[in-house]
Amino acid sequence: MNKQIDAMVVLEEVAMSLKDSAEQVESNSAFDEGRLMGYYEALSTLLSQCAAAGIESGDIGLSGFTPEDLLKKSQKAA
């Protein structure tokens, strides 16, 4: 495989892992709220950098996902 394809596979794996981990947080405590904010920051940065590089969210398995969904989850638990 060429390095560009390898990099896209790794990027997709990281993106999906972050999203899956964030969606498993129950946000029942201040610690969990902090974890959600960390996932929000990581995914926001990832998507922002991808957009700057011309990579669409669907290219990394995040089609239709917005990091703000995590904040809504956090607010529902409060």
Residue 66, domain extent? 3-77
Q: How many CB atoms lie within 10 A of CB 71?
A: 13
**pLDDT tens per residue, range 6-20:** 999 999 999 999 999
**pLDDT tens per residue, range 21-78:** 999 998 789 999 999 999 999 999 999 999 999 999 999 999 999 999 888 876 665 5
pLDDT (0 to 100) of residue 77? 59
- Crossing angle of helices 30-52/3-24, nearest 10°? 150
What pTM, to 2 d.p., does this model score? 0.86
Place of tokens 């995040």: 62
Counting the structural domains of the chain, the total is 1
pLDDT (0 to 100) of residue 74? 67
